[in-house]
Amino acid sequence: MRIRMQSDEEADVRTDAGIKILAMFFVAIMVLAFTTNPIATGTKVGERAPTLEGKAYNGGGWTEFDMDSYFDSNWTKGDVNNGSWMLIDFMDTDCPFCVRSAEDVATYSDYFMKIRKDGNGNPEWQGPTVTFVASATQLDIPGHESSRDEIIAFRDKSGTEECDGSSCATRPGSAHNFIYIDDLDQDNMKRWKVAGTPSYYLIQPDGIVAWSSAESNGETFYEAIGRLTLAEA
Amino acid sequence: MNQNLFIVAYAVPLLFGLILMTRAGDSMAETLSKRNPLMVHARRRHMLGLNLVGLVGFVVSVHTLWISNKISEGGNVCSSATVFSCDDVLGNAAYNTDPVFGLSWGLIGMVAFGSLLFITQAVGKEPDALWAEKYLKYGMYMTGAGLGVIALLVSYEIEMGKICQFCTMAHISNVIALFGFWRATQLHDKGEWKDNATEKKAEGA
């Protein structure tokens, strides 16, 4: 036994070094665990929403979209006076479902963005403001070829462009009053792993995904806004 | 707290570690040996330098992981409008994890530098072991492979148009460690590895 121990002295050095390094690793992990509370980035409920990038059309012209400027990291649940929620609508101007839902989107965006007023000039919606943002993509389907002109035409109900085989100017609902992001290259759609259009995501004022149509079990985006923003208030 | 102070705090031991591993370290032998007589030996100075570099790489990796976690909470740690903005790099979900397993680069750095530290610790304690030279070569191969990872991460930074200072510090640690492992194998080959080699060299002079 004694001879065996003498011949294994070298292994002891490596064990000693290994224990030291593992202890150091463990301490580092403990420091990280006690001082941070990381939130995964993703599109599932409870995850931090990935960024939306691209040029955005607001009715006047195309400017760079800065998603972070909409969020407030200090927002806490129940804080109704600060921060606005965001509803992101992934759509394609030639997708029949998107064209059909444009009316609901127009109605509820005006309502939740507090554009629609009552007889006294006060917003009809008394909850926190919900900023609507559309990310307009071009699906890889024949007949879905799109352009910035078509995005403008769809949003404003103007021009001579065609959306799903008909004039964009005659699509259901009124003109939209929110930002449209050019995602014709599908960058945002891929980053968000959007399976199809239209897809809706409701984002809390601190940038966390609160609801998504993919996990909704039939609940509409406007029902979700009413349920979640008022519940948090 | 100004994050650049951390950069300086990491740069100083890194530079000292590099000096210990170069010919400039030989000129420090006399000064160092007054504090620790064993530092008169080239190999011991070299391994001290390599340990320092590995330790800095490990701590910087922990720091980058900490920053990544803080950004995910919604905080700003080192955000800047200039090209040096680690928030923009470490907070970019498209690039802040490896493309195969989705692990944070900071965690990968911790494992890599932890492994290098294991090698430097083990070899430093038992420099004449049969496995010592083999382990040094493993260290050289690991840090050599690290160059590929650095190239990938630098390409991300170029794409983003932003530089993460902490990541750069970890990259520099890897490059210096590669040099350190390479030079350690050179010391082996030239017969300058053993403690008495320094004495013989001095006697010869």
Question: Is A19 at the interface with chain B, CB within 8 A?
Answer: no
Percentage above 90 pLDDT, chain A: 58
Segment A150-172, tens digit of pLDDT: 999 999 999 888 888 889 999 99
Cβ of B74 within 8 Å of Cβ of A48? The answer is yes
Q: Using 50, 70 and 90 to split pLDDT, how confident is the model at B200? A: low
> Which residues from chain A sit within 8 angstroms of residue B88, using beta carbons?
none
- Record the tokens describing residue A153, joined without a space: 């035409």
Test the A interface: residue of B125, B134, B138 with most A CBs within 10 Å:
B125
- Tens of pLDDT, residues A119-128: 888 899 988 9
Q: Judge whether B62 is closer than 8 Å to chain A, CB to CB.
A: yes
The answer, yes or no, to whether residue B58 has pLDDT greater than 90, is yes
For residue A19, pLDDT beyond 90: yes
Q: Which of A208, A221, A223, A229 is nearest to A89 (CA)?
A: A221
- For residue B71, the model assigns a pLDDT of 87
In order of A26, A108, B174, the CA distances from B167 in angstroms are 22, 45, 11
Cβ contact A181:A55 at 8 Å: yes
pLDDT of A80 higher than 80: no
* Contact predicate A147/A161, CB 8 Å: yes
Residue showing tokens 């990259």:
B171
Is B107 in the A-facing interface, judged by CB distances under 8 Å? no
Q: Give the separation between CA B122 and CA B124, rounded to whole angstroms.
A: 5
pLDDT at residue number B95: 87
Per-residue burial over A87-117, b = 16 or more CB atoms within 10 Å of its CB, e = otherwise: bbbbbbbbbeebbebbeebbebbbbbbbeee
pLDDT tops 80 at residue A5: no
Beta-ladder partners of A92: A137
Q: What percentage of chain A's residues is helix, strand, coil (to nearest 5)?
A: 35, 20, 45
Q: For chain B, state the CA radius of gyration.
A: 19
Q: What pLDDT is recorded for position A27?
A: 96
CA distance readout (Å), B134 to A7, B143, B178, B197: 19, 14, 15, 20
Averaged pLDDT of chain A: 88
Contact A191 B94 (CB under 8 A): yes
What value does the mean pLDDT take over residues B154-181? 94
Answer yes or no: do B69 and A38 touch at CB < 8 A.
yes
Task: Find the closest chain B residue to A22 by CA distance.
Answer: B114
The domain limits of chain A are 2-35, 55-232
Amino acid A77: pLDDT: 77
* Domain at B19, CATH number: 1.20.1440
**CB under 8 Å to A221, separation ≥6 — which residues?**
A87, A89, A108, A200, A202, A211, A213
* Mean local confidence (pLDDT), A39-65: 90
pLDDT at A231: 64
Q: Check CB contact under 8 Å for A17 and B121.
A: yes
Pick from A31-35, A80-84, A176-180: least confident: A80-84
The complex's ipTM? 0.86
Backbone torsions φ then ψ of B13, nearest 5 degrees: -65, -30
pLDDT of residue B107: 95
CA distances from A138 to A58, A149, A160, B93 (A): 19, 13, 18, 23
Task: Work out the average pLDDT over A9-37.
Answer: 89
| pLDDT tops 90 at residue A35 | yes
Confidence of residue A6 (pLDDT cuts 50, 70, 90): low
Closest-CA distance of chain A to residue B66, Å? 6
Pick the residue from chain A with its C-alpha nearest to B61.
Answer: A28
Q: What is the mean pLDDT of residues B96-101?
A: 89
Residue B24 has pLDDT above 60, yes or no: yes
Cβ partners under 8 Å of residue A6, min gap 6: none
Return the pLDDT at A119.
Answer: 86
Query: Which CATH code for domain A55-232?
Result: 3.40.30.10
**Torsion sign over Cα A21, A26, A29, A30:** negative
Give the pLDDT score at B13: 95
- What is the pLDDT, as a whole number, of residue B171? 96
Nearest residue on chain B to A8, alpha-carbon basis: B129
Alpha helices for chain B (secondary structure H): 3-21, 23-27, 29-35, 42-72, 86-90, 105-125, 132-160, 165-189, 195-204
User: Is pLDDT larger for residue A80 or for residue B198?
Assistant: A80
pTM of the model: 0.75
Angle of CA points B9, B12, B18, to nearest 5°? 140
pLDDT > 90? residue A63: yes
| Residue B56 reports pLDDT greater than 90 | yes
Residue type, A187: D
- A18 at interface of B, judged by CB pairs closer than 8 A: yes
pLDDT at B203: 53
> In this structure, are residues A210 and A203 in contact, taking their beta carbons and an 8 Å threshold?
yes
Query: Quick one: pLDDT at residue A233?
Result: 47
- Euclidean distance between CA atoms B39 and B36, whole angstroms: 6
SS3 A228: helix
Give the whole-number percent of chain B exceeding pLDDT 70. 95
Average pLDDT over residues A97-123: 92
pLDDT of amino acid A57: 94
pLDDT at residue A230 is higher than 90 = no
Q: Which of B89, B90, B118 to substitute to test the interface with A, most A CBs within 10 Å?
A: B118
Asked if B74's CB is within 8 angstroms of A38's CB, the reply is no
B205 pLDDT above the threshold of 60 = no
Which of residues B150 and B81 earns the better pLDDT score?
B150
B182, B143 Cβ separation under 8 angstroms:
no
Number of domains into which chain B is organized: 1
Averaged pLDDT, B25-52: 83
H or E element at residue A7: helix A2-7
Confidence (pLDDT) at B197: 58
Give me the domain span that covers residue B12.
3-204
Q: Does A89 touch chain B (CB under 8 A)?
A: no
Phi-psi group of A204: left, alpha or beta (phi > 0 → left; psi -120 to 50 → alpha; rest → beta) = beta
pLDDT of residue B199: 55
Per the CB < 8 A criterion, the answer to whether B195 and B41 are in contact is yes
Instruction: Please write the tens of the pLDDT for every residue from B136-159.
Output: 999 999 999 999 999 999 999 999
Nearest CA to B56 out of B120, B101, B142 is that of: B120
> What region does A38 belong to: left with phi over 0, alpha with psi -120 to 50, or beta?
beta
Average pLDDT of A196-221? 92
- Taking CB atoms and an 8 Å cutoff, what residues of chain B touch A31? 62, 66
Mean pLDDT of A191-214: 92
A13 vs B contacts (CB less than 8 Å):
122, 125-126, 129
Name the pLDDT band for B36 (thresholds 50, 70, 90): confident
Helix (H, G, I), strand (E, B) or coil at A86: strand
Token reading at A130:
């919900």
Percent of chain A with pLDDT over 70: 93
